[in-house]
C-alpha cells in the first residue's frame, strides 16, 4: 500500500511539473500588453498561411511558421504595441547578402500587422535600391490563429 501511495505521489508530482512547464497562451491584445508591461518574456509564433498577406497590391500566401521573443517594445499613447526585428539573410535567388527589417504592430482589435522590407547588405542608401531588390510584404494575422503569443512558465 505504501509503495502504491508513493508511486502515485511521484506520478502526480511529475505530471504537475510537466504542466507547470507549459507556456501560457496570451489570447488577446490586453493579455500581451499586461505580460509585456510586467516584464514577462513573450514569444510570438506566426503561422503565415493563416494570415492575409499582400505584396504589390496582390494577395500573398506562404506556408511558413516563424517565431521570435519580443526583446523590446513600445506602446505609444496606448494605441498599439510595436516591436521590430532586424537580421541578415541570403537572397532566395542569388544567395546575395541582404538585410531584412520587420515591424510588428499588435492592434487593440486583436490583429497583428507585419511589414517586411529587405535591402542589399552593401547598399549605402538602401531606400534607393529597395524597389529593385524586394517589394515590401505585409501580413494581417488574427491573434490566436495566425499570430500566437506565449509567456514562459
User: Number of structural domains, the chain?
Assistant: 1
Record the cell numbers describing residue 148, joined without a space. Answer: 500566437
Query: Structural domain of residue 143, as residue ranges?
Result: 24-151
Predicted confidence (pLDDT) per residue in 30-87, tens digit: 999 999 999 999 999 999 999 999 999 999 989 999 999 999 999 999 999 999 999 8
% of the chain residues with pLDDT over 70: 80
Q: What is the pLDDT of residue 127?
A: 55
Is residue 33 situated within a structural domain?
Answer: yes
Is residue 4 situated within a structural domain?
Answer: no
Is residue 17 situated within a structural domain?
Answer: no
Q: What is the pLDDT of residue 133?
A: 57
Cβ-count burial of 111 within 10 angstroms (0-12 exposed, 13-18 middle, 19+ buried)?
buried
Q: What is the pLDDT of residue 91?
A: 82
Beta strand segments in the chain, E: 24-26, 42-47, 52-55, 58-60, 65-69, 81-90, 97-107, 111-120, 137-142, 147-151
Predicted confidence (pLDDT) per residue in 84-126, tens digit: 999 898 888 888 898 999 999 999 999 999 999 988 887 555 5
Is residue 118 situated within a structural domain?
Answer: yes
Amino acid at each position: 500500500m505504501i509503495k502504491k501511495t508513493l508511486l502515485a505521489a511521484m506520478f502526480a508530482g511529475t505530471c504537475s511539473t510537466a504542466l507547470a512547464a507549459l507556456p501560457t497562451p496570451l489570447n488577446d491584445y490586453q493579455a500581451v500588453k499586461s505580460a509585456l508591461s510586467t516584464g514577462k518574456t513573450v514569444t510570438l509564433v506566426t503561422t503565415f498561411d493563416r494570415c492575409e498577406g499582400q505584396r504589390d497590391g496582390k494577395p500573398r500566401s506562404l506556408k511558413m511558421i516563424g517565431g521570435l521573443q519580443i526583446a523590446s517594445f513600445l506602446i505609444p499613447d496606448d494605441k498599439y504595441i510595436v516591436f521590430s526585428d532586424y537580421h541578415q539573410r541570403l537572397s532566395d535567388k542569388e544567395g546575395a547578402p541582404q538585410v531584412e527589417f520587420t515591424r510588428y504592430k499588435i492592434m487593440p482589435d486583436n490583429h497583428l500587422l507585419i511589414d517586411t522590407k529587405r535591402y542589399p547588405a552593401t547598399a549605402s542608401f538602401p531606400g534607393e535600391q529597395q524597389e529593385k531588390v524586394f517589394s515590401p510584404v505585409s501580413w494581417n494575422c488574427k491573434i490566436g490563429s495566425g499570430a500566437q503569443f506565449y509567456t514562459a512558465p
